[in-house]
């Protein structure tokens, strides 16, 4: 294993403009391990972004075979200036910054095996699911790494090019429609044939966030009639801009979205009325795609068993909220079931089913984020910067993210000088 390296981080104090940290002239090493979550085919960095990292003064090492399943063989990385190392331990042992898709936290199957490979002062960037488990977040903190969770990227214009969560949601919305089209016994587009005219399939999307909007767009491209519902009034214009029909219900949510643009949890009275009003629309649809997710909370049930029973045989539900319990009462996480003639797809991690472009999008987002923090070949972190402050989960052995601490009811951290 390569010798352990000192921390490459220089902290910027906005008050007195001092910076400290590593003083040697070694190049900061960015390491890319192969994803270990079962069935995961994406890779955190693709060859195309490596020249930008090298230009910024960084060195890139990649575990052998890390990009193979996504369509990026080792030779492509070498051609772009990366070095191939034999195994995971070599990546963690040499890298100052480790770039992953599913870090421990979002990878609750095999991710814990990375903990003993981490070292104090190392930087970790990827999906960490920071609102999933307080215990896991604290374990990552205790490993001494400075961990950045890309799903907490602010939804601002300045951070748009770093928004990996939206990129992966785009992949999921696209693939959900393809799954539905493959499963449905109906043809999606209207066709004029020798046997007469075939009417287009009716696709109904519940939850018009990034995934939902991509589902509408893809359904329209396949020739289906698309409609959508979202409790956020602002979604209406977005749905209509894609050629979808916005379903309006005579019910109003309280504080429908948070400051980051995500839907907020409502009380059971609201959801009960919502389900009642959606029953007819669901029954009239050939395909229903649900994408209503509340960050850090169980997904609200929007389709009951009774509503499924009212759908026509051969109908399809694709539940993009399956990982959080599902928007359909009958969804089974990671499984496809058939109830009363209706197929309910509870697939998770759909982005990995289009690994080439999902990896390309993710790599562009996270490399942009990394380069945002690199100055003169070193990682320089300004804790007053919103992008850095909002995404940094752990540092110096502590959980430092205010939102995460509040969510898990951890006591507030003492501020400097208190």
pLDDT at position 66, please? 98
| % of the chain at pLDDT higher than 70 | 91
Do 30 and 172 belong together in one domain?
Answer: no
Handedness of CA 396, 402, 408, 409 (dihedral sign): positive
pLDDT at position 417, please? 47
pLDDT of 205 over the 60 cut: yes
From first CA to last CA, the distance across the chain in angstroms is 42
Annotated active-site residue in 79, 133, 158, 160: 160
Cβ burial of 407 (10 Å; 0-12, 13-18, 19+) is middle
Do 14 and 142 belong together in one domain?
Answer: yes
Q: Which two tokens stand for residue 127?
A: 């999906």
Query: Rounded CA gap, 341 and 290, in Å?
Result: 18
pLDDT at position 44, please? 98
pLDDT at position 1, please? 42
Residue at 68 is within a domain: yes
User: Which residue, 27, 26, 30, is CA-closest to 123?
Assistant: 30
* Cβ burial 259-270 (10 Å sphere, 16+ → b, else e): eeeebebbeeeb
Residue at 2 is within a domain: no
Annotated active-site residue in 149, 166, 266, 299: 166
pLDDT category at 63 given cuts 50, 70, 90 is very high
Query: Rounded CA gap, 388 and 208, in Å?
Result: 28
Do 135 and 85 belong together in one domain?
Answer: yes
Do 190 and 332 belong together in one domain?
Answer: yes
163 as an active site residue: the answer is yes
Number of domains into which the chain is organized: 2
Residue at 159 is within a domain: no
Domain-terminating residue out of 348, 364, 390: 348
pLDDT at position 323, please? 92
374 bridge partner residues: 379
Query: Rounded CA gap, 58 and 380, in Å?
Result: 13
Do 193 and 146 belong together in one domain?
Answer: no
Residue at 231 is within a domain: yes
Do 130 and 239 belong together in one domain?
Answer: no
String of DSSP letters for 185-239: SS-SS-EEETTEEEPPPEEEEE--SHHHHHHHHHHHHTT-EEEEE-SSTTHHHHH
Do 181 and 279 belong together in one domain?
Answer: yes
CA distances from 1 to 5, 199, 387 (A): 12, 63, 34
Query: Rounded CA gap, 290 and 141, in Å?
Result: 35
Query: Rounded CA gap, 271 and 300, in Å?
Result: 8
Do 274 and 363 belong together in one domain?
Answer: no
Query: Rounded CA gap, 96 and 89, in Å?
Result: 13
155 as an active site residue: the answer is yes
Domain-terminating residue out of 348, 365, 391: 348
Query: Rounded CA gap, 125 and 369, in Å?
Result: 9
* Across 185-190, average pLDDT: 97
17 as an active site residue: the answer is no
Q: What is the CATH classification number for the domain harbouring 378?
A: 3.40.50.720
* Across 317-338, average pLDDT: 96
Q: How far is CA 361 from the centre of its chain?
A: 11
Residue at 234 is within a domain: yes
336 bridge partner residues: 345
pLDDT of 145 over the 90 cut: yes
Query: Rounded CA gap, 135 and 187, in Å?
Result: 48
Q: Which domain holds residue 14?
A: 9-152+355-407
* 1 vs 25, residue with greater confidence: 25
Do 228 and 336 belong together in one domain?
Answer: yes
72 as an active site residue: the answer is no
pLDDT of 19 over the 70 cut: no
Query: Rounded CA gap, 344 and 337, in Å?
Result: 5
Query: Rounded CA gap, 49 and 362, in Å?
Result: 11
**Are 399 and 412 in contact, with CB atoms under 8 Å apart?**
no
Do 340 and 249 belong together in one domain?
Answer: yes
Residue at 417 is within a domain: no
pLDDT at position 296, please? 78
Q: Which two tokens stand for residue 185?
A: 């016994």
C-alpha torsion 125→126→130→134, nearest 10: -70
* Across 215-240, average pLDDT: 95
Looking at every residue in the chain, the average pLDDT score rounds to 91
Do 186 and 328 belong together in one domain?
Answer: yes
* Across 188-217, average pLDDT: 96
Q: Residues 6 or more apart from 417 whose CB is under 8 A from it? A: none
79 as an active site residue: the answer is no
Annotated active-site residue in 155, 273, 332, 389: 155
Annotated active-site residue in 96, 163, 230, 319: 163
Domain-terminating residue out of 348, 368, 386: 348
Residue at 257 is within a domain: yes
Residue at 319 is within a domain: yes
Q: Return the number of other C-beta atoms located less than 10 Å from residue 40's C-beta.
A: 21
Do 114 and 180 belong together in one domain?
Answer: no
Cβ burial of 236 (10 Å; 0-12, 13-18, 19+) is middle
User: Which residue, 201, 239, 240, 206, is CA-closest to 320?
Assistant: 206
């Amino acid at each position: 294993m390569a010798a352990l390296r000192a921390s490459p981080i220089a902290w910027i104090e906005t008050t007195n403009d001092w910076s400290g940290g590593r003083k040697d002239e070694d190049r900061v090493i960015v390491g890319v391990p192969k994803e270990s979550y079962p069935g995961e085919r994406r890779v955190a960095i693709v060859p195309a972004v490596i020249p930008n990292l090298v230009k910024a003064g960084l060195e890139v090492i990649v575990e052998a075979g890390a990009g193979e399943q996504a369509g990026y063989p080792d030779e492509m990385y070498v051609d772009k200036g990366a070095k191939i190392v034999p195994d995971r331990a070599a990546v963690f042992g040499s890298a100052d910054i480790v770039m992953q898709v599913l870090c421990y936290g979002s990878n609750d199957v095999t991710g814990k095996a990375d903990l003993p490979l981490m070292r104090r002062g190392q930087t970790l960037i990827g999906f960490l699911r920071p609102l999933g488990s307080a215990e896991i977040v604290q374990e990552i903190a205790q490993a001494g790494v400075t961990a950045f969770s890309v799903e907490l990227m602010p939804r601002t214009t300045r951070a748009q090019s770093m928004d990996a969560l939206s990129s992966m949601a785009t992949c999921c919305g696209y693939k959900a429609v393809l799954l539905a089209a493959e499963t449905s016994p109906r043809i999606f587009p209207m066709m004029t044939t020798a046997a007469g005219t075939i009417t287009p399939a009716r696709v109904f999307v519940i939850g018009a966030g990034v995934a939902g909007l991509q589902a509408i767009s893809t359904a329209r491209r396949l020739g289906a009639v698309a409609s959508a519902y979202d409790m956020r009034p602002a979604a209406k214009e977005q749905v209509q801009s894609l050629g979808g029909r916005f379903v309006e219900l005579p019910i109003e949510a309280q504080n429908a979205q948070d400051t980051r643009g995500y839907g907020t949890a409502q009380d059971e009275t609201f959801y009960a009325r919502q389900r009642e009003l959606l029953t007819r629309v669901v029954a009239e649809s050939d395909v229903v795609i649900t994408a209503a997710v509340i960050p850090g909370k169980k997904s609200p049930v929007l389709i009951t068993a009774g509503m499924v029973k009212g759908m026509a045989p051969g109908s399809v539900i694709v539940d993009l909220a399956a990982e959080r319990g599902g928007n359909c009462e009958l969804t089974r996480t990671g499984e496809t079931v058939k109830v009363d003639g209706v197929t309910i797809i509870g697939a998770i991690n759909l982005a990995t089913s289009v690994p080439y472009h999902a990896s390309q999008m993710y790599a562009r987002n996270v490399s942009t984020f990394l380069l945002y923090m690199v100055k003169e070949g070193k990682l320089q972190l300004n804790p007053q910067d919103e992008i850095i402050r909002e995404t940094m989960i752990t540092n110096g052995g502590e959980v430092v993210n205010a939102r995460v601490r509040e969510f898990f009811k951890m006591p507030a951290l003492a501020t400097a000088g208190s």
